[in-house]
Structure 1
Amino acid sequence: MSLYWRDWPVPLHSSAEVLAELAENFQFYDDDILVNTFPKCGTTLVQEIVSCLVLGPERTRTTDLKLRSPFIDLNLPPELPVPRPIDGAKKLDRPRVLKTHLPPAFHMRHLVAPSGPRNIIVMRNPKDAIVSTYHHMTSARRDELSGVPQEFSQFWRMMLGIPGGAENTEIVVHDFFDFNLSWWSMRRHSRVLILFYEDLIVDKTAEVKRMAEFLSTPLTEALLHSVLQQTSFSAMQSNPMVNITLTDPERWRPGSNFIRRGEIGDWKRHFSAEDAELVDGIIEEKLAGSGLQFRYE
């Protein structure tokens, strides 16, 4: 399998073939809604909120998230007896809520068009994003993750591409800063809404209202109540429609959970003071002059 599509590294979850189809041939519609994030930055939470707003709370309670909001850039081994998510998306009724982990370069075909899908981008502070990705990649039982460093100090270095991060691994991830800065540069686009995971944790009501307004969805008090109740951390952690560790436990190591903490500041439990200071310097350098700022506690 090619590690690149054109000049872009193919992330671990995808393939050059799937990326080419998305960028060149996949039919997007004006009423599509793309929930787009760097991995482990609030994707599932926002998918569920948007699904409740657009498809209705009842459907979200009875239909698996993977089916009603497919991960369109996910590549599946051909031997699996299930359709690729990109093929499942083609059969969905409209409007469609679609999940993706791709930078805007893969969406330029519709971003530069006069009309096209709406894009909800979720960003999270890099230190918590790294911690969440670490737990996800070290908890999942997948052959392609066998090269993931088990030591956190090595893992975060791998994620940020600095020495000491298992340089020989074949694990490919998109650059956190390139991903977020490229979407940040699109923040004034009329069909792009940027959310921050930390804002969702601190004031979910306000962020749900922002999403509803962006999607032109009438938000009654009853619907708002349902959304807030259904997307609470405890509700989502116990919901087999969204928590894949409940429906596919053999793919996860004992004691792990796909919906793990849902909080701000978990990085403090993982980074040493010295490493946190080093990462702060990297963040400051990468974000300099962009205006992009994150909340860390």
Structure 2
Amino acid sequence: MGRFGITCWNTIRRVWKSPDKVMFLRFEELKSKPVEVLKDLAEFMGYGFSQEEEDGNVVIDILKLCSFESLSSMEVNKTGNSWHKIENKAFFRRGEVGDWKNFLTFDMVQRLDEITEEKLEKHGLKF
């Protein structure tokens, strides 16, 4: 594993120990209960929604604005490049839970799971 990999795992372990500063989100949860996740995220950031905002559909409006469909259809995400000249559209696939199965083999997933368990589970971080 290269230097980047070691730094990456160390960074994840370090921030995991700072739950007041870093919030881990799971894509599956975001897809299955987006309203709850957005409200939790707003609270975590110290900008929870007021009852008036919730009643006024602000949460729903934010979810629409930040949806996969909205973000992936923005011109900058269709034609722009990231900081390493990677096309922005490369960061968008289908926005569906389980789409990884179209890109990774069983052996690749098994190896990733092994590495993740080895590097993180002993520190209390489980996926």
- In the superposition, the TM-score normalised over structure 1's length comes to 0.34
Deviations 1:17-60 (A, max 9, x none): xxxxxxxxxxxxxxxxxxxxxxxxxxxxxxxxxxxxxxxxxxxx
Shift of 1:238: 1.2
Q: Which has the larger radius of gyration?
A: 1
**Does the CA contact (< 8 Å) of 1:245 and 1:258 recur in 2?**
no
Higher relative contact order (CA 8 A, sep 6+): 1
**Does the CA contact (< 8 Å) of 1:184 and 1:292 recur in 2?**
yes
Show the counterpart of 1:93: none
Show the counterpart of 1:57: none
Show the counterpart of 1:291: 124
**Does the CA contact (< 8 Å) of 1:230 and 1:236 recur in 2?**
yes
**Does the CA contact (< 8 Å) of 1:181 and 1:290 recur in 2?**
yes
2:47 matched to 1:216? Answer: yes
Shift of 1:257: 4.0
SS at 1:186's partner residue? coil
Structure 1: distance between partners of 2:111 and 2:86: 32
Deviations 1:150-188 (A, max 9, x none): xxxxxxxxxxx17xxxxxxxxx7463322211110111x
Gapped runs of 5+ residues in structure 1? 1-160, 163-171
Shift of 1:208: 0.9
Structure 2: distance between partners of 1:273 and 1:258: 22
Structure 2: distance between partners of 1:278 and 1:261: 24
Q: Aligned partner of 2:66: which letter?
A: T
Structure 2: distance between partners of 1:285 and 1:196: 21
Which structure 2 residues correspond to residues 98-109 of structure 1 after superposition, within 5 A?
Answer: none
Equivalent residue for 1:202, pick from 20, 32, 37: 32
Aligned residues: 116
SS at 2:94's partner residue? coil
Identical counterparts, % of pairs? 25
C-alpha spacing 1:274/1:259, structure 2 compared with 1 (3 Å) = closer
Q: Aligned partner of 2:71: which letter?
A: M
Shift of 1:280: 2.1
Q: Aligned partner of 1:226: which letter?
A: D
- Structure 1: which 4+ aligned runs deviate by more than 4 Å? none
Structure 1: distance between partners of 2:13 and 2:96: 23
Shift of 1:265: 2.7
Equivalent residue for 1:245, pick from 75, 78, 101: 78
Shift of 1:290: 1.8
Q: Which has the higher helix share?
A: 2
Show the counterpart of 1:59: none
Deviating more after overlay: 271-280 vs 221-230: 271-280
Shift of 1:209: 0.6
Structure 2: distance between partners of 1:239 and 1:184: 33
Equivalent residue for 2:100, pick from 242, 253, 267: 267
User: Pairwise CA RMSD of aligned residues?
Assistant: 2.6
Structure 2: distance between partners of 1:211 and 1:267: 25
Q: Which has the higher strand share?
A: 1
Which structure 2 residues correspond to residues 1-297 of structure 1 after superposition, within 5 A?
Answer: 161=1, 173=4, 175-187=7-19, 189=20, 192-198=21-27, 199-214=29-44, 215-219=46-50, 220-221=53-54, 222-240=57-75, 243-246=76-79, 248=80, 256-294=89-127
Shift of 1:193: 4.1
- In the superposition, the TM-score normalised over structure 2's length comes to 0.71
SS at 1:261's partner residue? coil
